[in-house]
Chains A and B, each alone.
Chain A
Amino acid sequence: MRRRPGLYRAARDVRIAATVFAVLIVVFLGSVALFASEIRPSWGASPFSGFSQGPNETAVASGQIWIANPGEYAIDSLSISTVVLFPGTHGPVVALGGAPSQRIPGGGTTVVGLSLTIPLSTGVGEPLLTENLVLPSETWVNLTYATLFPLRLGLDENLTWGAPFEGLAVDPGTPQSEPNGTYEVPVDLSFNDDAEYSDDGTIGVRVNDPSGVQCGQGVIAIDVDSHAAYDAQFTTYVGSACLASGSTVVLTFQGGPWAISLPPEGFP
């Protein structure tokens, strides 16, 4: 049989190689689709547990997601980001959270730790101490599967926030003058603990006159269970300056890791 010429053989071999590449690519893509279909994320009732008191006057939620990746290809650069917004159109950001970037090798199950931190002591977080709110949240999951295929998942959902001092009300009674020149004021303090943790600690009471100068103080101990109401009366002694219109009472809760000022109320 006549031998095929060199250029002809080279061209034929290159075409065969191209066909082999095409077959390999189809097999690879098929295996990617097959293995990707076997990935299973799972969590408990919710990816996040309930909120608890965190350091630096924050409320912290943590959670875990189990991701089973039984296939051969790794999940790279898996990151989860959550943003919680204040109610209203494009409200300011209340909290940031998620999980740092990590890799899930093929053939294994990985637990992804989640965290969400809401600062309560400053700015937009302050109303969350005394107001139950429905907070819109956005969560994004970014990952790359089999090195080549980026995937982005987005989930919008509402987060129900229970305030630890919901409906905080300070209702001063009628002042009674004392022989030493001060005034005894009965104060009714009420709120609901709608958070998922108890309010166990003390509330410092500081009364400021209209110019901001402290003119009275006191401390009361509280231990209010989660989802319980608190309504109690205590007595504070204030100077005459505190009776002027425009005075305020500032409550500071100290308990667990918190030492947090509650929104000021009018006094009397």
Chain B
Amino acid sequence: MRPSATMPARPYRLPTAGELAVGAVWQGVLYGLLFLGWPYFASQALGQFGIAFPFPFGTVLLFGLLLAALAIAAYVARPSRAAGPVAAGYDLAILAYLYWLAQSSSLALAYQSFTIALGVRAVFLLFMVPPAVRLVADLLTTAEDAFRPTERYPFDFPA
């Protein structure tokens, strides 16, 4: 009996550990820039106009490290049943981060006898919508992986 005649070829090919590692590095660069780079560049840009960065810089960096790590974890977990829960954890962390930013988000500028205070809370609240919606998708993926493991692999990782 020829095994190849009775065992159909798998319709997907999961990434190897090496491929995941390379992808994780790229993810780290991308999300490092997003979550760690923006506070730096934002504080520099605001400082040019004499506007103080309105958030505790250390806490922003800690959040940034956590979010970058979770983003990498979500990427690495994609070819496993942990994909949904890890992605959900990542989106929940983003929601917590944006909510925290929204609590103290007033940009203030004082120049001689003139002061301006702009409330940007709505910006962060608006940006909470996409991760909140994505959280639903994460739960769907979690359910799919729980009840029909590997069902999505042929589409996410085609052979």
A11: which of B129, B140, B154 is its contact (CB, 8 Å)?
A: B140
Return chain B residues, CB-CB under 8 Å to A45. Answer: none
On whether the beta carbons of A152 and B144 are closer than 8 Å, the reply is no
Query: Which residues of B88-123 are within 8 A (CB) of A?
Result: 113-120, 122-123
On whether the beta carbons of A14 and B148 are closer than 8 Å, the reply is no
Minimum Cβ distance to chain B for residue A24 (Å): 9
Query: Which residues of B105-159 are within 8 A (CB) of A?
Result: 113-120, 122-123, 126-127, 129-131, 133-134, 136-138, 140-141, 143-144, 147-148, 151-152, 154-155
A8 to B140, CA, bound (A): 8
Return chain B residues, CB-CB under 8 Å to A12. Answer: 137
Chain B interface, DSSP helix/strand/loop, else mixed = helix
For chain A, which range describes its interface: under 10, 10 to 19, 20 to 34, or 35 or more residues? 20 to 34
On whether the beta carbons of A4 and B155 are closer than 8 Å, the reply is yes
B119: which of A21, A29, A151, A157 is its contact (CB, 8 Å)?
A: A151
For chain B, which range describes its interface: under 10, 10 to 19, 20 to 34, or 35 or more residues? 20 to 34
Residue interface mask A20-39, B partner, CB < 8 A = 1: 01100100110000000000
On whether the beta carbons of A5 and B126 are closer than 8 Å, the reply is no
On whether the beta carbons of B113 and A149 are closer than 8 Å, the reply is no
On whether the beta carbons of A18 and B133 are closer than 8 Å, the reply is yes
Return chain B residues, CB-CB under 8 Å to A154. Answer: 114-117
Minimum Cβ distance to chain A for residue B53 (Å): 19
Minimum Cβ distance to chain A for residue B141 (Å): 5
Residue interface mask A180-211, B partner, CB < 8 A = 1: 00000000000000000000000000000000
Which A residues have a C-beta under 8 Å from some C-beta of B?
2, 4-5, 7-8, 10-12, 14-15, 17-19, 21-22, 25, 28-29, 148-157
